[in-house]
Amino acid sequence: MQARIDTAALKRDRPIAEVVAGYGVELRPSGRALLGRCPFHADGGRPNFHVYPATASFYCFRCRVGGDAIGFVERIEGVDFRGAVARLLEAAPPIGRARWMSSPPRRRPTRRARRGPEDRACLAAAVELYHNRLLTDPDALAYLAGRGLERAILECCRVGYAAGDELAAYLRWRGVSPRAALRLGLLGRGGRELMAGRVVVPEIRAGQVVWLVGRTIRPDATAPKYLALPGPKPLLGWEPAARERTVCLVEGVFDWLTLRQWAVPALALVGTHARPAAIEALRRFDRVYLALDGDEPGRQAAAELQRALGPAAVTVSLGDVKDVGELATRPDGPRRFARAVLEAALGRMAPATAA
């Protein structure tokens, strides 16, 4: 007999905000709720999608869809209740998983928490296709050049571009079943590519692609600006940054690419929400410079991280620019960023010096 799942405990250990953000929905604080663009309809103009951490629920005031974390996964993945629970289980940390099971299972779940060889091969092939496409696509290259990014950093970070309608054929040519792309979320049931029309940035660890995030290059009110591979959102850029004692933490993908281009150790939240696992990972650094966006959500996120990380965290003020990525297009961008970090460091030291 299958184990009975304690769904209440499951939802406690997989907070609704983490689940939603893990599917690429960028959330920003709005009173007691978190606000974002609804993934279930063309959410143009003012965002309509609200997440309520206190009640572990979500609701869209435009398409009138709501529910809990399990219901969200059911709808966004097109699976039934058991399928949604399985996805939440496999995305959860091993510690605590037993708390959700009222009796020990006689068999392990059929879906594995760790990706198998076929899934890894699929992700590697997708990154290869997208990267090669980027290097031959003048529009995508022009867009990235306009963002101040040089070809060298695009090649170093294996940045790609998904032109659309190419992945399934490429996977078959490489001998990889498109079923893996369906399972991972790279392909939808209708065959449409998740990342179509987007610049794609992979997270690579130990030579393996573990996550992808895509940014549209064409303004479109009917499509979200960012889409990510389903599953928990990692800190972008972990492997090169983890070798350092000091790191700069930014919000966006292009902020992170900019700092990598300037040879600054950096990590990206890919949003403003930091999962508990991310905060715990950041504790390994002696100093974390919080160079988040200068808007109100960025300031709130920086304040929350400051409280969570304590004296190791130092907030960096970027002055009259919105984010680090905006500095990439300015000739004095590296110098301005270095000065902002130095001023933050000196400001952090000032009370101790005065004492």
CA Rg value for the chain: 21
pLDDT score for 267: 97
Convert the pLDDT of each residue in 265-275 to its tens digit.
999 999 888 88
88 by DSSP, 3-state: which? helix
Could you please report the per-residue DSSP string of 140-184? Answer: HHHHHHHTT--HHHHHHTT-EEE-SS-HHHHHHHTT--HHHHHHH
The pLDDT, as a whole number, for residue 350 is 55
Query: Mean pLDDT for the chain?
Result: 85
Instruction: Please report which confidence band the pLDDT of residue 37 belongs to, taking 50, 70 and 90 as the band edges.
Output: confident
For residue 124, what are its two tokens? 């590697």
Helix (H, G, I), strand (E, B) or coil at 313: strand
Q: Are 112 and 252 in contact (CB under 8 A)?
A: no
Which whole number is the average pLDDT over 47-63? 89
C-alpha span between 344 and 38 (Å, rounded): 37
Determine contact, residues 19/71, Cβ cutoff 8 Å: no
Contact between 241 and 248 under an 8 Å Cβ cutoff? The reply is no
176: left (phi over 0), alpha (psi -120 to 50) or beta: beta
What is the pTM for the complete model shown? 0.69
**What angle in degrees, to the nearest 10, is found between the helix axes of 117-134 and 138-146?**
80
Confidence check: pLDDT of 18 > 90:
no
The predicted structure's pLDDT at residue 111:
36
Q: Residue 128 pLDDT > 70, yes or no?
A: yes
Angle between helices 69-77 and 81-91 (to 10 degrees): 110
pLDDT on residue 90: 65
- Total residue length of the chain: 355
Report the pLDDT averaged over residues 126-145: 95
Distance of CA 271 to the CA centre of its chain: 7
Reading the block at residue 241, the tokens are 């940054």
Per-residue pLDDT for 301 more than 70?
yes
Q: Is the pLDDT of residue 328 over 80?
A: yes
At position 18, the amino acid (one-letter code) is E
Lowest mean pLDDT among 154-168, 209-223, 280-294: 209-223
User: Do 305 and 290 contact (CB within 8 A), yes or no?
Assistant: yes
Beta-carbon contacts of 102 under 8 Å, excluding residues fewer than 6 positions away, are 3, 4, 5, 6
pLDDT at 122 over 90: yes
Backbone angles phi, psi at 11, to 5 degrees: -70, -30
Q: Which pLDDT value is given to residue 283?
A: 94
Express each pLDDT in 56-98 by its tens digit.
999 988 888 899 999 998 888 777 888 888 888 765 443 333 3
**pLDDT above 60 for 104:** no
